[in-house]
């Protein structure tokens, strides 16, 4: 149930991060002292934005004022509508939203340890054990989304946040799409950042839930090596590698890790495992406690919700 709130109900403090049209602040709800994240989306920037390169969003109920309804505004409408429908321990909760003349405000569950991009920058690379712990939680969140007919379409380090107890939470539903479960394939224009883009999006062929599975493969390689597998100096170079499936994995990776990655980074989306098959992959049940890999990381251990 949404509360009838305005910015006056919150006390803003430090800046937590910046996105394309938004700045995110830590905030305290005056009524009960709850610490939250307040994403302030600049309405002017949003209205002026050219949205040609963004995908369509389907028909969503309008939760925002539609006086100047541009494509970007439609996208934000879709983001809020989809995000507001979901509730899972591995998904950042959208607690409330409201707007004034200048901004649209999203009140989000606070993830006080920031995003995984920053975490990886500090640690350079992660062990297979730590990667297992992190990715298991992303898979759990994605399993929930896919079960509800939602494709996230922008799984990447900066959209994976860390809670106070180092639980991993999927954020940013700006590119998410809800589709009828009976009709899997969607036909879209290019979305996502080049490093994480899947061949079916790069070559503009139909894609669906398998897009998130591809991004999981990119995520695993990035966590283990510190670099996305298709990284080059140019967008064109990366897209070329993606469409021709050109990547190499270090031979030091375990058999389970190699098998999981190779299965997710299949150019043909139909050959990729679905999210249930990913969850059941041996990589996630491998016991790293007796391997030489250190276990001195901070992540909350994964378990049933
Ligand atoms: P955009 O959709 O414009 O890219 P994001 O939602 O990704 O914006 O937010 C930008 C950055 O702000 C994130 O990468 C993260 O560092 C920070 N951030 C976003 N939401 C939260 C949150 N709930 N808790 C803590 N930090 C957040």
Burial annotation 8-27 (CB, 10 A radius, 16+ → b, else e): ebbeeeeebbeeebbbbbbb
- Give the residue numbers annotated as catalytic, written as ranges: 154
* Angstrom distance (rounded) from CA 124 to CA 108: 28
Using a 6 Å cutoff on CB, does residue 160 contact ligand 1?
Answer: no
Element (H, E) at 266: none
Using a 6 Å cutoff on CB, does residue 150 contact ligand 1?
Answer: no
Ligand 1 atom with least separation from CA of 117? 14
Torsion angle, alpha carbons of 260, 264, 266, 269, to 10: 140
Using a 6 Å cutoff on CB, does residue 115 contact ligand 1?
Answer: yes
Cα four-point dihedral sign 258, 259, 260, 266: positive
* Angstrom distance (rounded) from CA 290 to CA 302: 18
CA distances from 98 to 24, 29, 30, 38, 103 (A): 15, 14, 16, 11, 9
- Which tens digits make up the pLDDT trace of 206-260? 458 999 999 999 999 999 999 999 888 888 888 888 888 888 899 999 999 999 9
Residue 110 C-alpha from the chain's centroid: 16
- Which tens digits make up the pLDDT trace of 96-116? 999 999 999 999 999 999 999
CA distances from 130 to 111, 122, 123, 134, 145 (A): 19, 14, 11, 6, 23
pLDDT of the chain along its 305 residues, tens only? 567 899 999 999 999 998 888 999 999 999 999 999 999 999 888 877 755 444 444 556 667 665 555 677 788 889 999 999 999 999 999 999 999 999 999 999 999 999 999 999 999 999 999 999 999 999 999 999 999 999 999 999 999 999 999 999 999 998 999 986 544 444 445 555 678 877 666 655 445 899 999 999 999 999 999 999 988 888 888 888 888 888 889 999 999 999 999 999 998 999 999 999 999 999 999 998 766 555 556 665 444 43
Q: Considering only CA atoms, which of 2, 299, 7 is closest in space to residue 133? A: 299
Asked whether 120 and 222 are in contact (CB, 8 A), the reply is yes
Ligand 1 atom with least separation from CA of 111? 24
Question: Crossing angle for the helix pair 128-147 and 210-225, nearest 10 degrees?
Answer: 160
Using a 6 Å cutoff on CB, does residue 250 contact ligand 1?
Answer: no
pTM for the whole structure: 0.84
Residue 111 C-alpha from the chain's centroid: 14
Nearest CA to ligand 1 atom 4: 19
């Amino acid at each position: 149930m949404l509360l009838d709130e305005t910015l006056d109900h919150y006390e803003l403090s430090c800046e937590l991060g910046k996105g394309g049209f938004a700045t995110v602040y830590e905030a305290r709800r005056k009524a009960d002292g709850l610490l939250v994240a307040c994403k302030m989306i600049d309405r002017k920037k949003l209205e002026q934005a050219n949205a040609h390169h963004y995908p369509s969003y389907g028909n969503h109920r309008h939760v925002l004022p539609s006086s100047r309804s541009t494509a970007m505004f439609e996208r934000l409408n879709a983001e809020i509508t989809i995000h507001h429908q979901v509730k899972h321990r591995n998904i950042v909760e959208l607690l409330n939203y409201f707007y004034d003349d200048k901004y649209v405000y999203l009140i989000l569950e606070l993830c006080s340890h920031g995003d995984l991009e920053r975490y990886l920058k500090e640690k350079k690379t992660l062990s297979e054990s730590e990667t297992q712990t992190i990715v298991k939680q992303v898979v759990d969140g994605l399993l929930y989304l896919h079960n509800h007919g939602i494709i996230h379409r922008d799984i990447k380090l900066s959209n994976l946040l860390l809670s106070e107890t180092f639980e991993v939470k999927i954020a940013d539903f700006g590119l998410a799409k809800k589709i009828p479960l009976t009709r899997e394939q969607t036909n879209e224009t290019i979305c996502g950042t080049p490093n994480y883009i899947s061949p079916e999006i790069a070559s503009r062929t139909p894609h669906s839930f398998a897009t998130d599975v591809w991004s999981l493969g990119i995520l695993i390689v990035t966590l283990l090596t510190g670099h996305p597998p298709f990284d080059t100096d140019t967008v064109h170079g990366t897209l070329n590698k993606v469409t021709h499936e050109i990547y190499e994995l270090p031979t030091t990776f375990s058999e389970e890790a190699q098998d999981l990655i190779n299965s997710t980074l299949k150019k043909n989306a139909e050959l990729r495992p679905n999210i249930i098959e990913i969850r059941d992959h041996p990589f996630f049940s491998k016991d790293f406690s007796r391997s030489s890999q250190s276990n001195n990381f901070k992540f909350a251990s994964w378990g049933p919700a």
